[in-house]
Amino acid sequence: MITKKYTHLFFDLDNTLWDFSSNSYEAFYDTLKRLNLLSVIGPYEDFFTIYSEENERLWDLYRKRQVTKKVLRVERFEAAFIRNGTPLAIGGDEVNDIYLEEMVNQTQLVEGARELLEHLYGRYKIAVITNGFTEVQYDKIHKSKLTKYFDKVITSEEIGTPKPGKKIFEYAAKSINAPKKSTLMIGDSWEADILGARDFGIDQIFFNPKMDKLDFEGLFLSISKPILSNIFQGSPLILVPDSENNYKKKVQTSLISRLDQLFAIL
């Protein structure tokens, strides 16, 4: 069990606190409805799956700085419609503008997020570190009534470096005077949140509600022969190095599937 005393917390926003998956589903439906495109695309569930895959593909390229924000905003929609066999008659930028309008109206949180933040409020310095677009992230936080919980909200656009880049973690630490030894990162992206924070030199907790990643670079679960239906029940599970050569950073990586597991250590 984790026994370290933390004073500062970094949280990812989308799909860690704010339920991006559910909110995107609703926002995209409302977008297509406003544009009179629901009758064009076929079954919405199938089309949303296509869009989600294209969106994630382009976000991955954006995190790697292989595409610009402008390309990401437009191509995720145009590529989805082309792949669906129903090319857009309008520009992807028009779809994007309406989609972002609808996104900020969605306020569904990840289960347990508000209860956790209420528990943490006033007891820790808390910063949000997000790769999301600046023009919507602040509105999402405000409309979801989360503003009071955070001492600082940091977007990758403002800093010029997306997670997992070290620069954004350095900026976050300086902005709330967070010592590395007592700072913890919580996020749902292994590459952006966990590897980014690990490389920066702070402890991390990987929020993995779907249990869809159990193969960790140079690490393994600290219990033998885990049973997937039972391992995510109590305190966060510590991942330990399989050898010193594979894990040179003196930081700790842990695993949870529910936010309420954080009550055991925070």
Strands 183-187 and 8-11: parallel
Catalytic member of 12, 188, 193, 203: 12
CA 16, CA 168: separation in Å to the nearest integer? 18
CA 96, CA 72: separation in Å to the nearest integer? 10
Angle at 215 between CA 214 and CA 217, to 5 degrees: 135
Residue 12 bears catalytic tag: yes
CA 79, CA 176: separation in Å to the nearest integer? 40
List helix spans (H) across 66-221.
69-83, 92-103, 113-120, 134-143, 156-159, 166-175, 196-200
Note the Cα 127 to chain centre separation in Å.
Answer: 14
Known catalytic residues are: 12
